[in-house]
Structure 1
Amino acid sequence: MKNKAIALTSTAAVLLLPALALAHADGAAHAHGGFVDGLLHPFTGADHLAAMLAVGVWSALAVRPVWMAPLAFVLLLAVGAVAGFLGVAVPAVEPMIAASLLVLGLLVAQRRRLPVAAAAALTGLFAFFHGAAHGIELGGSGQWAALAGMLLGTAALHAAGIALGQAVVARHRWIALATGLGTALLGVGLLVRMA
């Protein structure tokens, strides 16, 4: 009975986290002034929060070694952010962020295994676009400190996703299906808003 209650509570929390963050999903730019602002940013946007958790959960379910996709994400997030710092015009940033939620959500829902190189390449590709979007926002003199904070916050969300994946989602197929489909639907919703 206690395990079932923990599973239900954890599932509710995972399903509600992206919804709770929708207050930030208004499309407005959010400048970051330093390490703490960057650290907190991944926790305040529905797109970033859902993607980071999905990468972690998917890694726990289907990627071996489990740290490879999160590592690729963090590294390419940094590259994309630097591109944003430099003013590189990266096309289709917002549609790719929405697509990342759709694809990552479906991978979680299906518990889909990919070769490790493909998993790292896919998450790295999506991370570049997330980074490019945030690199534009990380303006001012504190941009490097904000980037360091954002990378740490992202890694923490990946770790939380891995922990949730291993402790709860891997044990209950319906939770993987529900959380994956919830993330995918968030991506679809963002794509529809852009149309």
Structure 2
Amino acid sequence: MKKSLSINSRLILSTILLLLIATPAYAHHAMGGETPNSFLAGLISGLAHPIIGLDHLAFVIGVGFLASFFSWGMTIPLSFVLTSILGTVVHLMNIDLPLPELIISLSVFVTGILLTRDRILPQFVVISLAVVAGIFHGYAYGESIIGAQTTPLISYLAGFAITQSFISFTAYQLGKYWQKNSSSALNLKFVGYLICGMGIIFTAGFFGV
């Protein structure tokens, strides 16, 4: 039985890695660059955005795994999801945030670093990170919905909230399972180093390196 569970964990981890590798980086439009003009178009765009943007996907997966270290851990990704909605609203209000792509890249890097640590920071610190990251990730999401009417806007917000919640919850559950099985404990560190490396790549890309 344990061997079967271990195989399943490896399969899930492999799937995560394939998603991270196969997803095109910085692709922020699911509708070919067109602003969604219907409920369905807004929903599809919202559902896809956290997946087709590799920086967003890496952070959402990472924050889900990070949440698995805490008893009330899902408050962390939920804080991120809620503030990402706020970040989109901020963008739509024409409020400029400084260096959003850099902050997003650094959020991926920091999340990866935290996963590799033997000692996790207090939960309120991690929630604070999720809140700040949520505002900036959501701000980037807002670029795809500028000029849309109310209906596609609402479905867009609902779409990316659903996708982020599902991905982070899946990572959270997998992280909890790995922590209960000593043979799988190193998987979390492996994911952490992978996400950390991606954060370095995104940050270097921002500076044109």
- TM normalised by structure 2 equals 0.84
Deviations 1:19-66 (A, max 9, x none): 111x24357794552122212221222111111111111101x23311
Is the CA contact (8 Å cut-off) linking 1:32 and 1:146 kept in structure 2? no
Whole-angstrom distance in 2 between the partners of 1:69 and 1:79: 16
Change in Cα spacing, 1:145 to 1:32, as seen in structure 2 (3 Å) is farther
Which of 116, 133, 142 aligns to 1:126? It is 133
Letter in 2 for 1:174: L
Is the CA contact (8 Å cut-off) linking 1:170 and 1:176 kept in structure 2? no
**SS state at 1:89 partner:** coil
Question: Would you say 1:97 and 2:104 are equivalent positions?
Answer: yes
Percent of aligned pairs with the same amino acid: 23
Change in Cα spacing, 1:8 to 1:194, as seen in structure 2 (3 Å) is same
Which of 157, 163, 178 aligns to 1:168? It is 178
**SS state at 2:189 partner:** helix
Question: Would you say 1:54 and 2:62 are equivalent positions?
Answer: yes
Question: Would you say 1:107 and 2:107 are equivalent positions?
Answer: no
Is the CA contact (8 Å cut-off) linking 1:51 and 1:104 kept in structure 2? yes
Considering only aligned residues, what root-mean-square deviation do their CA atoms show, in Å?
Answer: 2.0
Question: Would you say 1:136 and 2:148 are equivalent positions?
Answer: no
Please state how far the C-alpha of 1:111 moved relative to its aligned partner: 5.3
Whole-angstrom distance in 2 between the partners of 1:81 and 1:17: 25
Who is 1:194 aligned against?
A: 206
Letter in 2 for 1:6: N
Who is 2:39 aligned against?
A: none
Please state how far the C-alpha of 1:168 moved relative to its aligned partner: 3.2
Question: Would you say 1:78 and 2:92 are equivalent positions?
Answer: no
Comparing 108-117 with 174-183, greater Cα deviation is found at 108-117
Change in Cα spacing, 1:76 to 1:9, as seen in structure 2 (3 Å) is same
Whole-angstrom distance in 1 between the partners of 2:13 and 2:118: 16
5+ residue gaps in structure 1? Answer: none
5+ residue gaps in structure 2? Answer: 37-41
Q: Stretches of 4+ moved more than 6 A in 1?
A: none
Comparing 27-36 with 8-17, greater Cα deviation is found at 27-36
Question: Would you say 1:181 and 2:193 are equivalent positions?
Answer: yes
Who is 1:154 aligned against?
A: 164
Give aligned pairs, total: 193
Whole-angstrom distance in 1 between the partners of 2:35 and 2:199: 25
Is the CA contact (8 Å cut-off) linking 1:10 and 1:168 kept in structure 2? no
- TM normalised by structure 1 equals 0.90
Deviations 1:139-194 (A, max 9, x none): 21222221121111111111111122122365323211111110111110011111
**SS state at 1:114 partner:** coil
Is the CA contact (8 Å cut-off) linking 1:47 and 1:97 kept in structure 2? yes
Who is 2:45 aligned against?
A: 37
Is the CA contact (8 Å cut-off) linking 1:63 and 1:69 kept in structure 2? no
Is the CA contact (8 Å cut-off) linking 2:116 and 2:188 kept in structure 1? yes
